[in-house]
Chains A and B, each alone.
Chain A
Amino acid sequence: MDAILLQILNGLDKGSAYALIALGLTLIFGTLGVVNFAHGALFMIGAFCAVTLQRLLSLSYVTIDETRTDFLGNPLKVKTPYVESWFGPEIGQALIDWSVPLSILFAIPVMVGLGFLIERGLIKHFYKRPHADQILVTFGLAIVLQEIVKFIYGANPIPTPAPEAFSGSFDFGVLIGFEPNAIIYPYWRMIYFVFALIIIGAVFAFLRFTTFGMVVRAGMADRETVGLLGINIDRRFTIMFGVAAAVAGLAGVMYTPINSPNYHMGMDFLVLSFVVVVVGGMGSLPGAVLAGFLLGILESFASMNEVKSIVPGIDQIIIYLVAIVILLTRPRGLMGRKGVMEE
């Protein structure tokens, strides 16, 4: 029982990442009708927003402390981050420590701006082109973004730790009556899951309860009619692209403490996220979220030793296997709408 619970928990953080990326992908597909292969790259850029902010905050100047010497006997060089000298050592240290959560504030404008740029500069011209062309051009864009990041930050993963306060683990089992140490779960993964739920909730609320969201939903159902009613639907869709980019970016920002970001993390997630979208049903937002969590949890179950001893290698292929079975038996995915990309 506790093993099962533990696997469910373990699946949640990866599932959250899948769900967030898939949500953005579906949002773009549902509004603009564009298959965005660059979405994984947006996730990766989000993660590197966190790296950037961490580096910016840790920018230091060097002073020479004559009173102390290093092991060679030379005067010790002391690095002091600028933030420490501006805000005092305590606040400065805290700022650096909390750089990942702070990056959320930094990443939102960056990602929305980047989203606008991509949509207006590139994707706009591809509304009417076949899906294959959209896949290809965004695939090219993904390569370009990835290479640019590789240039700036190098090819190695960059560790970006979570704040000290969240570095430990939480004994989840005790809370619900298991023995101590039966179910241990890192704080940050829990935060990631809650964060993902908040973002998903926010996106759904935005679409559901605001006038803007209502217009967007109307546009998703029938773009032409909304346009004929004198509403500038293109502009709203562009904004939605920015939102989707921000969702992917935030997923990336918060993922950095779980997995050190490297330049190809986007591509790794992209393939899986597409599978998630297709399993959930093309164009269905709840489907994408549901499938994201479902596949994340399934993946973590498949990596249990008990399961692996029955079906060796199942952990490597479970997601693809599920996707193939679903695609072949339920053409519309789990919650796909009728008439959306049926062929």
Chain B
Amino acid sequence: MQIEIEHLGKTYDGHDWAVHDLSLEIPSGSIFGLIGPNGAGKSTALRMVATVMDPSTGRIAYDGHSAGEGQALRTTELRRRIGFLGDGNPLYKHMTPAEYLRFFGQCFELPPAKLEAAIEQVLVTFDLTGKADAQAGALSKGMRQRLLIARCLLHEPSLLILDEPADGLDPRGRSDLRRILGRVRDQGVTVIISSHILRELDDLCDQVAIMQRGRLVVGGQVGDIIDRYEVGRFVYELRLLDGSGLAAAQEVLSRHRVLIERESVADGLPCLSIQVQGGEAMMAEVLSDLVAAGVKVVTVSRLRSRLEDVYDRLSEDRVN
């Protein structure tokens, strides 16, 4: 499902904007990440896209059609094509995963035979078959989160909206989540995911949008954004031939405007990650001095920025 958001805005009181003038285009079958600090307006924006909240201004088109009163698409019809996991959605503790899935499947009016087949399938997909008859209250946090996402996919939506799905998950759970989302995308489902844990998103999402105070700060392909904001940050990794040159290297670096971020060992060779204040000309000068001081440099490589670096740069002190 392709989503077009035009000048979307939401105000709760008629004075302050929770989301303001948000315009995005989300291609069908992509994973779209919405990034921002708490209170940036991510959840509000996602709730509007999920049709559970009405926007104050703007419109959202789903495959070119708007939904709601007086629109071509009925909200309930559209909801059959959307799977939405809101922030902090709890489970019914006394229901088993199978019962929980059956309950939501019936809320989406799935025919009985199709529903039972779908339950079986998502239980397998989300590795919950062994716990199908256990009470949800007895499941681990990761399993509960998987069950919640499974619930959103039960009715085979073409748009999956997940608000902070990795919140509270351990590394294994996050890894599982990434695997599942990748699989969902492969089925042609458009995924919109919000998170403040950026490492979860930078190599998962096809596109991201960074929000601050209800407004879109930057949006687009992850690679493009990183490339666009990389220029401001020059981090290089120096690999030295042996440890004897390390002291000399540190001595040379201390004479320049260079910050040693990390010392490490890779493939038995000492490595230094340095941040150079002054761009590539400064790095050339540093390298020349290192060679002159007898430091045996094997390789010098510039480290690529991550989404997190871009976000840090953009955020600065503008946390809501």
A binds B: no
Q: Which residues of A contact B (CB under 8 A)?
A: none
Q: Which residues of B contact A (CB under 8 A)?
A: none
